[in-house]
């Protein structure tokens, strides 16, 4: 693990940047959120990640802790973000053991490809509940502690605190075939973040969104794109910068928003996708399909992606 540490964040960030702070993260055992937390821990923070799968969450917490000797990283399983009571219990355990929550990442999400004709009401609701209701429950359960952290940062000169980041997407900017459920949920997440920024900004809390595009090595890319398309290199044609992103680049965006560099940034949506959203709206950008053939039934969904299944919470 030590050999991987230099790849966690850019060299622009100083070690010890987040000394004495704590990050609470839903979705912390997923590939993107775990990379965000790993970077913060490497730079001095302690952390609490939560998820539904007990073993997976504990194992990921143990792996994250290896990036910095002496770090404390809690992994709390059996937490469903759709159930605020389980989140509140996890928050209390985090406070009991780590004493504070200075930063929050609301990253629990579910996704899969499905046309509206093949998407049940229950499947639609499940994604909206995980992504949007889960984000709202995260705000409700952690905000008292973010307010306390923001007040401490203002009154004592401690490292920055009182900040929340929501993990969103770009599908709703233009619309995207087979993503009605996720686009609807993420549009709500963006609106929620903006409202949090307005209501809690006067009390020192910042609220922002990070919207990753296709990121190499993530569960999301595997669920939304064909393996053959990824291996062919053709996907880079749909990204102005000519490649998929890296986990480090999402982590850098996170550090920017949580550190002093983000102190005057709130209510913002930071897209980390190489400019791909500017070319969005066609099914082929992710799955290797072409429009309108895909929606008219002239093309079958690729067989080498995870699609058309019941959503599983990536907590």
Residue 283 carries which DSSP code? Answer: T
Angle 203-208-214 from CA coordinates, rounded to 5° = 165
User: Residue 85, exposed/middle/buried by CB under 10 A (0-12, 13-18, 19+)?
Assistant: exposed
The residue among 286, 282, 308, 313 whose CA lies nearest residue 118 is 308
Helix (H) or strand (E) segment spanning residue 25: strand 22-26
Helix (H) or strand (E) segment spanning residue 206: strand 206-212
The verdict on whether 186 is a catalytic residue reads yes
Distance CA(254)–CA(264), nearest Å, equals: 14
Residue 301 carries which DSSP code? Answer: P
Annotate 51-102 with DSSP letters as a single string: -S-HHHHHHHHHHHHTTSTT--EEEE-S--TT-HHHHHHHHHHHHHHH----
> Of 168, 193, 226, 287, which one is the catalytic site residue?
168
Contact status, residue 46 vs residue 72, Cβ threshold 8 Å = yes
Helix (H) or strand (E) segment spanning residue 24: strand 22-26
The verdict on whether 168 is a catalytic residue reads yes
Distance CA(234)–CA(238), nearest Å, equals: 8
> Of 58, 135, 186, 225, which one is the catalytic site residue?
186
Active site residues: 168, 186
């Amino acid at each position: 693990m030590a050999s991987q540490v230099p790849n966690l964040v850019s060299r622009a960030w100083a070690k010890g940047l987040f000394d004495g702070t704590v990050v609470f993260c839903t979705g912390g055992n997923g590939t993107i959120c775990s990379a965000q937390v790993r970077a913060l821990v490497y730079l001095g923070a302690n952390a609490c990640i939560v998820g539904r799968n007990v073993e997976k969450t504990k194992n990921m917490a143990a792996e994250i802790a290896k990036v910095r000797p002496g770090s404390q990283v809690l992994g709390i399983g059996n937490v469903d973000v759709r159930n605020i009571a389980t989140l509140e219990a996890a928050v209390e355990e985090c406070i009991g053991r780590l004493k504070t929550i200075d930063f929050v990442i609301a990253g629990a999400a579910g996704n899969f490809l499905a046309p509206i004709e093949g998407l049940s009401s229950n499947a639609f609701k499940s994604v909206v509940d995980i992504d949007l209701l889960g984000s709202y429950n995260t705000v409700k359960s952690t905000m008292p502690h973010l307010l306390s952290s923001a007040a401490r940062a203002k009154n004592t000169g401690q490292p920055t605190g009182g900040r929340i980041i929501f993990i969103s997407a770009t599908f709703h900017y233009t619309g995207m075939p087979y993503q009605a459920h996720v686009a609807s949920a993420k549009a709500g997440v963006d609106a929620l973040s903006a409202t949090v920024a307005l209501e809690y900004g006067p009390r020192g809390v910042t609220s922002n969104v990070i919207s990753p595009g296709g990121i190499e090595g993530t569960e999301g890319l595997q669920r939304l794109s064909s393996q053959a398309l990824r291996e062919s290199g053709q996907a880079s044609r749909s990204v102005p910068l000519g490649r998929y992103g890296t986990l480090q680049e999402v982590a850098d965006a996170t550090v920017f928003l949580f550190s002093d560099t983000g102190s005057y940034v709130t209510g913002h949506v930071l897209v980390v996708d190489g400019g791909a959203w500017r070319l969005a709206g066609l099914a082929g950008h992710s799955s290797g399909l072409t429009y309108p053939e895909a929606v008219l039934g002239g093309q079958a969904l690729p067989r080498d992606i995870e699609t058309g299944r019941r959503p599983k919470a990536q907590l």
